[in-house]
Chains A and B, each alone.
Chain A
Amino acid sequence: MAEIVCKLLIIGGGPGGYVTAIRAAQLGIDTLIVDEGPLGGTCLNIGCIPSKALIHAGEEFHKLTEAATGGSPFGLSAASPAIDLGKTMAWKDGIVTRLTGGVAGLLKKAGAKSLRGRASIRDGKTVTVETDLGPQTVHAETIVIATGSEPVELPSLPFGGKVISSTGALALTQLPESLVVVGGGYIGLEIGTAYAKLGVKVTVVEAAPRILPVWDAELTGPVAKRLAALGVEVMTGAKVTGLTDDGETLQVATDDGSDITLAADKILVAVGRRPRTQGFGLEQLALPMDGPFIRIDNQCRTAMRGVYAIGDVTGEPMLAHRAMAQGEMVADLIAGQPRVWDKRAIPAVCFTDPEIVSVGLGPDAARRDGQAVLVGTFPFRANGRAMSLAREDGFVRVIAREDNHVVLGIEAVGAGVAEFASAFSLAIEMGVRLEDIADTIHAHPTMGEAIQESALAALGRGLHL
């Protein structure tokens, strides 16, 4: 058995792992990154990137369909559109390949080594990697666990046959006629909306009283409206109990006590993700946990010296950018630099239609924190750019402390508002006050003007409403 010695071993090649590797290698640390799959992890391969490609394809097709059915508000028309889903998926895969190749190139450029294979921890310094060429033993001074997360499977609805996970949903080569999405969270709604726009009859089954329960009803309202307009049937307060005996039909128990069945060509189970803590020998380290997650401190250190953990395996929010920020910090720490997790906010984006973005605290959360708050809202129906896009749904909302006007949170729902995340995050991280946003010139005509207007509204001096 060959033995590899390195200073830093990273288990997991997702956004957290590969960023750690690039940064560590840049800092001159002898780094090895191990993943059994292609680099880029869930995000690049079967998550963020491919889903956004599908969502975009769905949107384009939807526009064509509108034009073909006389529904275009712009006066456009088209002949009956068609989609070759196989070609769409190939295009999507092309993006994924370019990006994963890009990651490999970045690692190489930084001087990090990568190894494809299944890692198995033997102790805090030793990992065995099952590679195509046989097992390799890696001795490392420091280990970073970045194993990410995986879709939760419902016991009553195991993956297989017509029951698919998000991974499967992003790899369909033929459009199903009907799709039932189990789970009204952001993954299910993003993919469900994309398929609805591609002409699939989509039904969403959510156990909670409303969709996207992470956000408040005001923020998710425009999404619910749009889903209805797209013909997506949303069943809330509805619990999936399993398939009928023939395995063809979904059984659903509703809150009002009735049992119904739903026929569907495909059933996407998107009820959440769980940290990947099994199957790689984590139990050998017997690390203290926080529920299902590995317990870490504010420097991503686990209870064992020289063993760090980052990303989805360490807790909510399970988001790629959180993992990347943690990875960058951990690399610096390993290089001996003083770093500590002191982020004020982690942006959350939902690529439904319309999109939702939230950074920091919402009004309810801020009040729960005991803050007296000012809330300013500006709707896109009063925004010229939104009108010109025929997308007047949604709004921007800013939440600030009443006493000193320091902004605690900024949220938006609307077409394309995901791109606001940068501005929102920068504002919160810089500790801006309402006056800072209000007194910053926002370009006209853009949807971003609504950000300034929301701050003006919170200050009681709104201009355009």
Chain B
Amino acid sequence: MGNSDNEIFVIRMPDVGEGIAEAELVEWHAQPGDMVREDDVIAAVMTDKATVEIPSSITGKVIWLGGKVGDMISVGADLVRISPDANAQIEAAAPEPAQAPPATPDAAPSDAPEPAPEQKNAAPAKPATDAETHSAKPAAPASGVPARHVQPPRRAAGEKPLASPAIRRRALEAGVDLRRVSGSGPAGRLTHADLDAWLDAPESAPVTGGRVRRTEVTEIPIIGLRRAISRKLGQTWSKVPHITIVEEIDVSALEELRAGLNAERKEGKPRLTILPFLVQALVRAVADQPDMNAHHDDEAGQLRQFAGVHVGIATQTPQGLKVPVVRHAESRSLDDTAIEIARVAEAARDNTALRDELSGSTITITSLGALGAIATTPLINAPETAIVGVNKMAMRPVWDGAQFVPRKIMNLSSSFDHRVIDGWDAAIFVKRLKTLLETPALIFVEG
């Protein structure tokens, strides 16, 4: 992936997965001017599945970075330029549009890579040309985005706020320094409403009780995994009509079994949570209803049923929600399932999961553990057709026909793609799960 061009080595965005045209830049490990050794990690990029570290293929000085954290970089676009010469000059950071088109159509010029501080002033101002003076076409902003789509840059220090004379006078009369008020209008122009808002809640207006109103807003770009999650769940929510069924499961027998098994655990055997039982119950249930273990392929107009049961385990990680996959659960024993769940979940949390371990699930389980509430409305991990949500287990009184008895109750909240799964079938599926979990021996009965 590296090549030489006039003694400048270019590291291009590698092909990080099948069918992936772009990846998000999530981390730079080097800055222009830094010396890197061969195999040093220079950048980390993320596909919608996994984070991939990109090493340097040579030793030299980084002279150019192809974007900033959060940018989407096309596969094949220049990512880093490295000169073997330690005295090489740092290049201007703006990528040539032809080589690295911004992947997001609405990327604003301000999204263009920031030059490193020491070179900001070195970037030459656009020379005045006749063409510009007559201005048949405006100079395209660095990102290659049409000039119309401009974003208001933040006011530079010392720059006068943009406001009409009437607003300026109102501010003066109200004793407001407009430089402290942020403008919501185009190019950051201040509106009467902005001034009203400021007057209603100025930065530190003394209020009775000695408490201070806080009006600051922190803007955090939605990038990295959060962007992937946002995009994916947004698509799921807007494309897949969900139906959700909440059912009460009496897991007293299952819990008794689990406690018994855990009590007899030998060295090297995993402690069992309720998840491996649920995975194995799913294996049983989908055998009768293969539509639940399938992908809804919108483009092909096909439902793709899978013989293998690859169970996604929605996992909270320090980076955000990920869904590592227990592959071929139908071929695994209970212990094996427990071990595999623990392994892939750990890999997801450690950020060491491979792409294959984060993709290819056919049905997903989501659990908030002890926080799991009474009921939830899980979103399907599209293109799957079903998701099973585990709610919090609690001791509840159950009427057994003669009296209230304490039973361990755990609700399941399960959602289905209503385009391919009717409510009737969904109800049968949930009932089947209930039966299996309430009589756990059935999970293990062969045939």
A residues at B contact (CB < 8 Å):
218, 337-340, 342, 344, 363-364, 367, 370, 372, 374-377, 402-406, 429-431, 433, 435-436, 457-460, 462
Contact = CB atoms under 8 A, between A and B. Distances in A.
A423 to B, nearest CB: 15
B86 interface: no
Interface stretch (B88-96, B130-138, B324-332): B130-138
Interface stretch (B163-171, B359-367, B372-380): B163-171
A435 B132 contact: no
Given A338-B175, A342-B168, A404 B148 contact: no
Nearest to A340: B172
Contacts of B186: 404, 433, 435-436
Contacts of B175: 338
A405 B185 CA distance: 13
Contacts of B163: 431
A429 B162 CA distance: 9
B133 A218 contact: yes
Contact of B125 (A340, A363, A367): A367
Given A429-B165, A431-B163, A459-B147, A363 B136 contact: no
The secondary structure that dominates the B interface is loop
Contacts, number: 84
A339 B175 CA distance: 11
A364 B150 CA distance: 23
25 contacts: A338-B173, A339-B169, A342-B160, A342-B168, A344-B160, A364-B128, A367-B128, A370-B125, A372-B126, A372-B139, A377-B133, A402-B138, A403-B141, A404-B150, A404-B187, A430-B165, A433-B150, A433-B187, A435-B148, A435-B186, A459-B138, A459-B147, A460-B135, A460-B136, A460-B137
B135 A339 contact: no
Given A402-B141, A460-B138, A339 B172 contact: yes
B188 interface: yes
Contact of A338 (B136, B153, B160, B172): B172
A459 B119 CA distance: 28
Contacts of B187: 404-406, 431, 433
A377 B152 contact: no
B152 A404 contact: yes
Given A338-B172, A340-B172, A363-B133, A404 B153 contact: yes
Q: Name which of A344, A402, A458 has the most chain B CB atoms within 10 A of its CB.
A: A402
Nearest to A436: B186
B189 interface: yes
Contacts of B168: 342
A375 B152 contact: no
Contacts of A218: 133
B136 A462 contact: yes
Given A340-B172, A374-B135, A433-B186, A403 B150 contact: yes
Contacts of A436: 186
A8 B151 CA distance: 49
B164 A430 contact: yes
Interface in B399-446: none
A375 B153 contact: no
A458 B138 contact: yes
A458 B136 CA distance: 7
Contacts of A405: 147, 150, 187
A402 B132 CA distance: 11
B37 to A, nearest CB: 38
Contacts of A402: 126, 138-139, 141
A145 B151 CA distance: 46
Contact of B153 (A367, A403, A459): A403
A387 to B, nearest CB: 21
A432 to B, nearest CB: 9
A372 B109 contact: no
Nearest to A343: B165
Nearest to B139: A402
A460 B173 CA distance: 41
A218 B172 CA distance: 40
Interface in B105-162: 109, 125-126, 128, 132-139, 141, 147-148, 150-153, 160, 162
A364 B132 CA distance: 12
A307 B330 CA distance: 94
A363 B162 CA distance: 20
